[in-house]
Structures are given as C-alpha cells and as structure tokens.
Amino acid sequence: MNQTDKQKKIAAEKAVEQIESGMIVGLGTGSTALFAIKRIAELLESGKLNNIVGIPTSLATEDEALKAGIRVGLLDEFPEIDITIDGADEVDGNLYLIKGGGGALLKEKIIAQASERVIIVVDESKLSNQLGEKWALPVEVVPMALEVEKRFLKTIGGSPMVRERRGGYFVTDEGNYIIDASFGVIKDPENLASKLHERAGIVEHGLFLNIASQVIVAGKSGIKILDH
C-alpha cells in the first residue's frame, strides 16, 4: 500500500467512526469508499456495529459490499439515508466538490441529496483553492446528445473530451456517456452548474455544491477535519 492509500485508509476509518448501529449508510464509489466498506464489514463481524443497511452508489460498490458481508438495500426501500461516506476528486475551501472520476456521479449525487449527513474522505492532494485547478469536470450525457453537448460545452468555455475505456466510450451504470470538460479554474461554480442543468441532454454533472457536511482530509501530518 502506497502512502496515499495509507492516508485514504486512515481518513475513511475516521469517517466510519460516525456510523452507529441501525443506520442506513450510503456507500460511495472508488478506492477511498472501499476502505470505508472494509472497515464497516470488520465492525459488523466483530459485533461493534449491527443492523446496518448499505445503499451503494454504483454496481461496483454493490458487489464490494455484498462480498464484504454488508446488507445492501435499495433507495426505494430506504429513501432517508442517515450518513453517506464517499470520496471526491477535488475539494475547495467552501467544501464544494468535483466528483465523477469513477463514473458514478449520478447515483452519488442522488444518494448524497437523500442523506442527512455526507462525509467526504480525501487525501490532501485533492484540496484546491478553487475547483478546476486540478480536475476536469465530468458531465454525464445521454448517448444521442453526445455531439450536441460537446458543442455546447465549448460555447461556455469548456474543452470537452469523451471518456473512453478499452477502446470504446466509457458507459455509466445507467447507459450514458461521460464528457470530461476542462474549464480551468471555475470562478463561478454556481453559474456553471445552472447552465449545465438547463441542458436536456446533460443527465448530471460533477459539481457537488452545498452537499458535503464534512470533509476528512488525511495528510502527512495526520487527520484534518473541515466543517462549514
């Protein structure tokens, strides 16, 4: 395990300390969330936690949770989630996020918005003064609108690139495509989010604004907790 993964593991386990028996828990997607899933499984096996239902944000997360022995539920059954633990690609000083590097931004946002608390776990390399310094913005689009939305993103200052995998387009769990649009530093994320929401062909975007309740950052000097 490299140093970054060690930091992610420490931060994820810190987040899991906020889970109590009987909770409905949103399970994020990606390497950081996987550390949280493994820790939840350990606590269930030891009896320190019980009666936990996990609501996964992707098919990959669902597979990992089931393999770990965590009971998995559907959002239809459990529409009120107590706490979600997830990662992020970039975090600014307002606790605004860019997410979607793993391709699960639609489910991640739905589950985050259904959660009483959203705990974001990152290593210190994900911190930025402003979003867009380090990461392009993932934009999920319906297949028929791919070219239309690429053109639109160019008109609002983006440099779009369709995400690929194994020689073809990356396909989300919902059967959509992802455009990674680089805007450089995003000076007005609220305005950009509004423009993206107006487009019928855009299913969702990776700007997660006013969603994170807390960000747990792991770095060389230890754990840092960022709250509003």
* Site of tokens 């959002």: 75
Structure tokens, 184: 């450089």
DSSP state, residue 145: G
Q: Do 84 and 112 form a contact (C-beta atoms < 8 A)?
A: yes
Q: Name the residue among 216, 219, 218 with its Cα closest to residue 227.
A: 216
Residue type, 125: S
User: 143: part of which helix (H) or strand (E)?
Assistant: none
Q: Do 110 and 172 form a contact (C-beta atoms < 8 A)?
A: no
Structure tokens, 7: 């930091």
Q: Which of 62, 108, 149, 204 is catalytic?
A: 108
**Cα R_g (the chain), whole angstroms:** 17
Assess whether 133 carries a catalytic annotation. Answer: no
Residue 155: CB atoms within 10 Å:
8
Question: Could you give the residue numbers annotated as active site?
Answer: 108
